[in-house]
């Protein structure tokens, strides 16, 4: 089954991070506690009822000043139209088939940024913001994460590169109305890489942060706070 790269939330971004970062994080340094999707509504939260525009989301992305010295924003790559082929995971194949005929996985409002770190290639981080109705975000993101973690291992073909992917859910702290997190191990050409991806929904905004586990853990709370801040006119 061939999938559009936008079908699976951040799959192409994760592959790029894995192949360029070559993270050497070991599983021993990562929280091993498995977790199903957590759905909570913190007291005092009053999320906006209307989705944000892409322009509004872009203003809420992390920037170099948020990440700290040594981080530089990566220029946006030209749009890629190559298909990604997933082998050995029926749930992902089904998900891709539905999206390819006009499913609900291409959120209309989105903004993205990625950063490299001058001190080492294993500190790259990517952020994606999406906005839609609360129900649509919740259902769509949950289905994607469930599909991506439904198969312990599968293979991804992107261009001429074959990547073996191993996935599992990991514990994520309570950061919003709903949160998801997964750990992915990528093996390609004899190199192994570990990437963590955490998504948090607060109201009509979903924040997705991807990168080496330590970097994601260090910046996800700040990303959520900046993306969901209530701005007042003045």
CATH no. for residue 122? Answer: 3.40.1000.70
Number of domains in the chain: 1
> E-assigned strands of 36-122?
38-39, 71-73, 84-87, 109-117
The predicted pLDDT at position 223 comes to: 97
222: Cβ–Cβ under 8 A, 6 or more apart, which residues?
A: 62, 66
Both tokens of residue 11? 């799959």
- pLDDT of the residue at 158: 75
Determine, yes or no, domain membership for 116: yes
Query: Phi and psi (nearest 5°) for 21?
Result: -80, -35
Is 234 a member of any domain? Answer: no
In a domain, 233, yes or no: no
**Pick from 16, 31, 15: nearest CA to 182:** 31
Angle at 50 between CA 79 and CA 228, to 5 degrees: 75
Does residue 162 fall inside a structural domain?
Answer: yes
Residues in Cβ contact with 218 at an 8 Å cutoff, skipping those fewer than 6 apart:
none
Residue 168: give the domain boundaries.
Answer: 2-227
Query: Does residue 232 belong to any structural domain of this protein?
Result: no
Residue 104: what pLDDT?
A: 36
What pLDDT, on the 0 to 100 scale, is given for residue 82? 53
pLDDT by 10-residue block (mean), the chain, 234 residues: 40 60 40 36 51 95 93 73 74 63 61 86 84 93 88 84 90 93 89 91 94 92 91 43
Number of C-beta neighbours around residue 31 at 10 A: 15
Angle, helices 134-148/90-100, rounded to nearest 10 degrees:
140
CA 224 to chain centre: 13
Query: Taking the alpha carbons of 25, 26, 31, 35 in that order, is the dihedral positive or negative?
Result: positive
Total-model pTM? 0.78
In a domain, 17, yes or no: yes
User: Could you tell me if residue 172 is inside a domain?
Assistant: yes
């Amino acid at each position: 089954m061939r999938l559009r790269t936008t079908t699976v939330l951040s799959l192409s971004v994760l592959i790029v991070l894995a192949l360029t970062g070559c993270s050497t994080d070991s599983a021993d340094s990562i929280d091993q506690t498995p977790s199903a999707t957590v759905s909570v509504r913190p007291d005092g939260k009053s999320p906006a009822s209307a989705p944000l525009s892409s322009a509004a989301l872009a203003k809420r992305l992390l920037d170099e000043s948020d990440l700290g010295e040594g981080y530089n924003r990566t220029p946006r790559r030209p749009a890629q139209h190559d298909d990604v082929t997933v082998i050995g995971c029926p749930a992902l194949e089904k998900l891709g088939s539905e999206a390819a005929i006009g499913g609900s996985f291409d959120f209309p409002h989105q903004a993205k940024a990625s950063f490299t770190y001058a001190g080492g290639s294993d500190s790259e981080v990517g952020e994606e913001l999406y906005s839609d109705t609360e129900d649509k975000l919740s259902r769509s993101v949950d289905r994607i994460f469930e599909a991506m973690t439904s198969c312990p291992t599968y293979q991804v073909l992107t261009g001429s590169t074959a990547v073996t992917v191993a996935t599992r859910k990991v514990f994520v702290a309570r950061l919003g109305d709903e949160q998801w997190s997964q750990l992915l191990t990528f093996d390609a050409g004899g190199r192994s890489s570990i990437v963590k991806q955490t998504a948090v929904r607060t109201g009509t905004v979903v924040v997705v942060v991807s990168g080496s586990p330590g970097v994601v853990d260090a910046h996800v709370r700040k990303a959520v706070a900046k993306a969901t801040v209530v701005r007042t006119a003045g």
